[in-house]
Amino acid sequence: MLFKKNKKEEKKVAPHLPKEVRLKGGEAIERENWFLKLFILAVVFGFASGIVGGMIVNSRFFDNWLWGEGGAWKSTVTVNRTESKNLSRDNLNNKALSVAFEIYPASALSKDSLIDVNAKVGSGFFLTSNGYAATVKNIFERFNKKDLIAVNSERKVFRFGTVYNDPISDLAIVKMEGDGGGNLPFAYEEDIYADLDVWLPFLDTGILQTKVLANDFWSPKTRSDYYFDSEKIYRFGLLEDLYSKKEGGSALIDLRGEVVGMVLGVSEPGNNFSLFLKSPVISSALKKVLDKSEISRSYLGLHYQEVNNLVGSKMQNSLKYGIVLSTNPVSGALFVDKKSPLLKLGLQLGDIVTSINDEVISPLRSLPEILLDYSPGDKLKIKYERAGAEKNLEVNLLKI
């Protein structure tokens, strides 16, 4: 005997559907439709929320909330490239001026608290909120620090405390007496390139725009300029314009509000180009001052020429980058210093050093710039070539 389902339990299936679908029965199909409807609803909701969220993120309200003064973004933290964004001109101007200061002789400050702006001798910028700052060290070669004052955008006067001179560059890190100042994150070296738009802060007019022409500028003037040593920065950034020679020490800032470098001065007499010290030199020096109360730089003691400068040489056929250990014919400096930790490790005149800890030495990352990443006492693996044979050695860095 055949038993029929109760009419209330029957789930009709449309006859036009494929056989494999009809065989599942009405209840199974309804369950599948329920999941399908839920999935479609989730997709629609996600799409709509994405549109609304995008409108909010790109609004002026959100921009001011995140990047405005007192906003959610904290300038005390160096953010990653994926987390940073371009600032509006107003916010960029405010942040740049918050760290900038101008340097004057103390005698330029009158009894009425007015400053003779024509007496300006240089510029600088704060690196931390508790008074550490950067400027060019030649200012302290021309003036006693006790005879100088710094004036910021709020016309607050600072006196100079301890001065830490960088032994490998024209940088000086100074600690101002008392707290004060602002700070900005540093740009990574890979974010400094030709045609990059950058800004200089001027306390009287605000930020002025210029452009990076090169990030590895080097200008030889004599034969001796083709010989380098491992203890001095010699490749710099090149800036399109220099508004005043007294801007030496100014911060150079990109659209993210990051410090790209510090202006040094005119590159050559008779032109308007200027050099700047790139941010890794400044950030590494600051870290050493905060950690050890000194700018302790690594000493390797090598003298050399860059392979890419040797026109027509045989080694160019096999090597594009690296350095050739060379004795300087002008100064007489040997290819390895007498105090170098490498002196007794078998290096010879003409050896070609290709990498440090597997990082290739090149014009974009010269040997002194690579050494910025290391401290005295660190162990280095040095790869070099002699007569076509590759060799390796290890050495512990000394301190300058």
- Asked whether the beta carbons of 358 and 383 are under 8 A apart, the reply is yes
Question: Are residues 156 and 283 located together in one domain of the fold?
Answer: yes
Q: Which amino acid is at 176?
A: M
Question: Are residues 222 and 308 located together in one domain of the fold?
Answer: no
**Which pair of structure tokens corresponds to residue 375?**
């401290």
Q: How far apart are CA 15 and CA 177, in angstroms?
A: 90
Identify the domain boundary among 292, 319, 345.
Answer: 292
Q: How far apart are CA 343 and CA 338, in angstroms?
A: 6
pLDDT, position 180: 75
Question: Are residues 269 and 360 located together in one domain of the fold?
Answer: no
Asked, for residue 13, whether it belongs to a domain, the answer is no
- Which single residue is written with the structure tokens 């080694």? 315
- Asked whether the beta carbons of 236 and 209 are under 8 A apart, the reply is no
Q: Which amino acid is at 234?
A: Y
Question: Are residues 93 and 151 located together in one domain of the fold?
Answer: yes
pLDDT, position 240: 85
Q: What is the CATH number of the domain that holds 357?
A: 2.30.42.10
Identify the domain boundary among 263, 292, 321.
Answer: 292
215 versus 5: the higher-pLDDT residue is 215
Question: Are residues 44 and 143 located together in one domain of the fold?
Answer: no
Q: How far apart are CA 67 and CA 87, in angstroms?
A: 7
Q: How far apart are CA 25 and CA 30, in angstroms?
A: 9
- Which single residue is written with the structure tokens 């301890």? 162
Asked, for residue 79, whether it belongs to a domain, the answer is no
Question: Are residues 51 and 184 located together in one domain of the fold?
Answer: no
103 versus 205: the higher-pLDDT residue is 103
Q: Is 260 exposed, middle or buried (0-12, 13-18, 19+ CB in 10 A)?
A: buried
- 19 SS3 class: helix
- Which single residue is written with the structure tokens 């494999």? 20
Task: Please write the tens of the pLDDT for every residue from 74-107.
Answer: 333 343 444 568 899 999 999 999 999 999 999 9
Mean pLDDT of 305-319: 70
Question: Are residues 158 and 245 located together in one domain of the fold?
Answer: yes
Mean pLDDT of 39-52: 65
For the residues of 120-183, what is the DSSP string, one character each? --EEEEESSTBSEEEEETTHHHHS-GGGEEEEETT--EEEEEEEEE-TTSSEEEEEESSSB---
Task: Please write the tens of the pLDDT for every residue from 216-234.
Answer: 999 888 888 999 999 999 9
- Asked whether the beta carbons of 351 and 204 are under 8 A apart, the reply is no
Asked, for residue 211, whether it belongs to a domain, the answer is yes
Question: Are residues 179 and 216 located together in one domain of the fold?
Answer: yes
Asked, for residue 78, whether it belongs to a domain, the answer is no
pLDDT band at 69 (very low <50, low <70, confident <90, very high): very low
Question: Are residues 204 and 117 located together in one domain of the fold?
Answer: yes
What is the domain range of residue 239?
86-292
Asked, for residue 76, whether it belongs to a domain, the answer is no
pLDDT, position 183: 87
- 272 SS3 class: coil
Asked, for residue 75, whether it belongs to a domain, the answer is no
Q: How far apart are CA 182 and CA 115, in angstroms?
A: 22
Q: Which amino acid is at 382?
A: I
- 349 SS3 class: coil
Q: Is 160 exposed, middle or buried (0-12, 13-18, 19+ CB in 10 A)?
A: buried
Task: Please write the tens of the pLDDT for every residue from 252-301.
Answer: 999 999 999 999 976 555 667 889 999 999 999 999 999 999 999 999 99
pLDDT band at 315 (very low <50, low <70, confident <90, very high): low
Split into its structural domains, the chain has a count of: 3
Dihedral pair phi/psi, residue 309, rounded to 5°: -90, -10
Asked, for residue 212, whether it belongs to a domain, the answer is yes
Which of 108-117, 344-353, 377-386 is least confident? 108-117
- Asked whether the beta carbons of 127 and 286 are under 8 A apart, the reply is yes
**Which pair of structure tokens corresponds to residue 19?**
């056989």
Asked, for residue 14, whether it belongs to a domain, the answer is no
- Asked whether the beta carbons of 121 and 105 are under 8 A apart, the reply is yes
Question: Are residues 277 and 310 located together in one domain of the fold?
Answer: no
pLDDT, position 376: 95
Q: How far apart are CA 301 and CA 368, in angstroms?
A: 11
pLDDT, position 178: 77
Q: How far apart are CA 331 and CA 365, in angstroms?
A: 25
Mean pLDDT of 176-193: 89
Question: Are residues 109 and 221 located together in one domain of the fold?
Answer: yes
Structure letter (DSSP) for residue 203: T
Task: Please state the pTM of the whole predicted model.
Answer: 0.76
Average pLDDT, the chain: 82
- Asked whether the beta carbons of 174 and 135 are under 8 A apart, the reply is yes
Question: Are residues 165 and 307 located together in one domain of the fold?
Answer: no
Identify the domain boundary among 249, 267, 292.
Answer: 292
Q: What is the CATH number of the domain that holds 211?
A: 2.40.10.120
**What are the distances in angstroms from CA 120 to CA 4, 164, 256, 261, 300?**
104, 22, 29, 21, 39
Q: Kindly tell me the sign of the dihedral angle through the C-alpha atoms of 33, 37, 38, 42.
A: positive
130 versus 40: the higher-pLDDT residue is 130
